């Protein structure tokens, strides 16, 4: 098949556009990668400051990791310490897979005794209006000081201690369930997380960090 002179010019022009577009995207990615990574790091630090107890170290540089069976990526745990280097708390992100409109990501922090210091929602796709309640600090503060031993881990509609939202039960139910699973995971991994012993990942259920 032969191309006319005009067609060849068109092909060359398209090739040049493709080449320059590729170069432009590559350069843009290189220039924005570091600022984006820094912004994400700062956002994580800000969130950790909200959930961890008062500390004198940098939790982003004091971490531990656990990889569970059938999980591709390790879960990172961020440690906060007192001035004497003793641990004051540990934070990690857990996921509620059964939100009304998708997964809900939750940053939770516990004290060494297994009680919650604070929790925050880091990402969700819940319907505006219905899911807003879980972003309310006053609702999230109900988790403070809660532990596996002192709490009925369910919404009040299911016989538990946590309020559901007006017109929405699925969302708070998913959050409460995920935080409880996070506490169960911490309880199983306490020796490793607090004393630097080997993790007992094989003892966990596959959905312990979901």
- pLDDT grade, residue 114 (50/70/90)? very high
pLDDT for residue 146 is more than 60: yes
- pLDDT grade, residue 72 (50/70/90)? confident
Decide which of 143 and 7 is more confident: 143
Say what the pLDDT of residue 21 is.
80
Residue 25 lies in a domain: no
In the chain, % of residues over pLDDT 70: 79
Decide which of 34 and 182 is more confident: 182
Determine the average pLDDT of the residues in 68-83.
82
Residue 137 lies in a domain: yes
Residue 41 lies in a domain: no
Say what the pLDDT of residue 74 is.
85
- pLDDT grade, residue 16 (50/70/90)? confident
* 128-140 per-position pLDDT tens digit: 766 667 778 889 9
Least confident of 23-37, 91-105, 195-209: 195-209
Residue 113 lies in a domain: yes
Residue 170 lies in a domain: yes
Domain that holds residue 170: 52-203
Residue 210 lies in a domain: no
Decide which of 210 and 37 is more confident: 37
* Residue 52 CB partners (closer than 8 Å, separation 6+): 59, 78, 80, 88, 89, 91, 109, 117, 118
Residue 69 lies in a domain: yes
Least confident of 19-23, 38-42, 49-53, 193-197: 38-42
* SS3 labels along the chain: CCCCHHHHHHHHHHHHHHHHHHHHHHHHHHHHHHHHHHHHHHHHHHHHHHHCCCCCCCHHHCEEEECCCCCCCCEEEEEEECCCCCEEEEEEEEEEEEECCEEEEEEEEECCCCCEEEEEEEECCCCCCCCHHHHCHHHHHHHCCCCCCCCCCCEHHHCCCECCECCECHHHHHHHHHHHHHHHHHHHHHHHHHHCCCCCHHHCCCCCCC
Residue 22 lies in a domain: no
Least confident of 41-55, 75-89, 122-136, 144-158: 122-136
- pLDDT grade, residue 78 (50/70/90)? very high
Total structural domains within the chain: 1
């Amino acid at each position: 098949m032969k191309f006319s002179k005009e067609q060849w010019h068109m092909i060359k022009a398209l090739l040049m556009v493709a080449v320059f577009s590729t170069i432009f995207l590559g350069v843009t990615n290189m220039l924005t990668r570091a600022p984006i990574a820094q912004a994400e790091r700062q956002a994580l630090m800000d969130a950790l400051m909200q959930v961890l107890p008062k500390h004198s170290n940098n939790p982003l540089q004091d971490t531990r990791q656990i990889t569970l069976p059938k999980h591709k990526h390790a879960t990172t745990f961020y440690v906060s310490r007192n001035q004497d280097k003793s641990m004051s708390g540990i934070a990690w992100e857990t996921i509620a897979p059964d939100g009304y409109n998708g997964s809900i990501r939750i940053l939770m922090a516990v004290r060494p005794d297994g009680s919650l210091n604070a929790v925050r929602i880091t990402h969700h796709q819940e319907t505006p209006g219905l899911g807003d309640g879980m972003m309310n600090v006053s609702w999230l503060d109900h988790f403070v000081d809660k532990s596996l031993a002192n709490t009925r881990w369910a919404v009040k509609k299911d016989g538990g201690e946590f309020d559901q939202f007006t017109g929405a039960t699925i969302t708070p139910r998913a959050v409460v369930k995920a935080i409880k699973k996070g506490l169960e995971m911490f309880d199983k991994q306490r020796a490793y997380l607090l004393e630097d012993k080997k993790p007992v990942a094989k003892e966990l259920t596959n959905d312990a960090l979901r």
